[in-house]
Every structure is written in structure tokens, then in C-alpha cells.
Amino acid sequence: MGVLEHVGYKNYRNFMQVARRCLADDGLVLLHTIGKELSITTTADPFMTKYLFPGGNMPSIAQIGAAVEKSFVMEDWHLIGPDYDRTLMAWFENFDSGWDQLKAKYGERFYRLWKYYLLYCAGYFRARHVQLWQIVFSKQGVPGGYETVR
């Protein structure tokens, strides 16, 4: 699930406890989240907070660790941030090239907002200011170990 950056740092632990309660004993949780190396409790960009992610906050490695402590076994932690830069640029290219078909419905303000969002985020990932992680958790550990396929 790609949601942790949207629940707010005060709710990370509660979110993971709910995930644990909902998970079968032999189940796995795949947490797909944007994060930062630094633990901060505010967002750095007022524009993003106001228009795109109100109440959002990017978790740090330490905050994720605290949220899952005594609840999950970490099976895998994969960094895919460099790939996300390319993904965001491809989304922008598709959005921009298809804009003529969308502009009558959505208008110029929508175009500027999404152009800013996609290019800003691509730059943030390219500069390595943020990361995209896919983390796999189990309740009690996978018997024989978890096999990562990449």
C-alpha cells in the first residue's frame, strides 16, 4: 500500500498496528512509500501541502522503524527512488502530449498544477532529496526466509 506519507507522522504506529490486525498470520505487508532520511514533522513545501498533500509528511527510516517495532519482522527493504524520477518524467510527457484532449475539461490552472507537481517531484527524486521504498513485513518472519524477486 502506498499510503504512509498521507497518514501523518503521529499516526504511523497506529496505522501499522491496524495493518497487523488485518493481516493473516502468514501474510505479508508491502509498504510502498516516499520517504526521507531525516525525521521531520513538517513538510518542506507549502505549495505541496496546500494543493496536493494536505496533512502529508514523508516518513524517515527511523520513524518507520519505530512504527513497526514489536509488530512486524522486516523481510525486505528495496530502494526504487531513481526509477521514480524516470516514471514521473514519463507521466509528465504523457500528460503534456495528451493535454490538447484534456484542456477543455480541466483548464489551464489544472495543467499548471500537475506540470509543477510532476516536474518538481521528478527533480526532488533526481537530486536524491527523497526516496521511494518498498518494504516487506511479516508478522512472525517467513519460515525459511523471504525470497526477494527483482
**CA–CA gap between residue 20 and residue 22 (Å, rounded):** 5
Chain centroid to CA 42? 16
Catalytic residue among 121, 122, 135, 136: 121
Coil vs helix vs strand at 75: strand
Chain centroid to CA 125? 12
> Strands, DSSP E only, in 47-94?
73-79
Task: Write the single-letter amino acid at 60.
Answer: S
**Active-site residue flag, 121:** yes
Helices 12-22 and 61-68, axial angle in degrees (round to 10): 50
Active site residues: 121
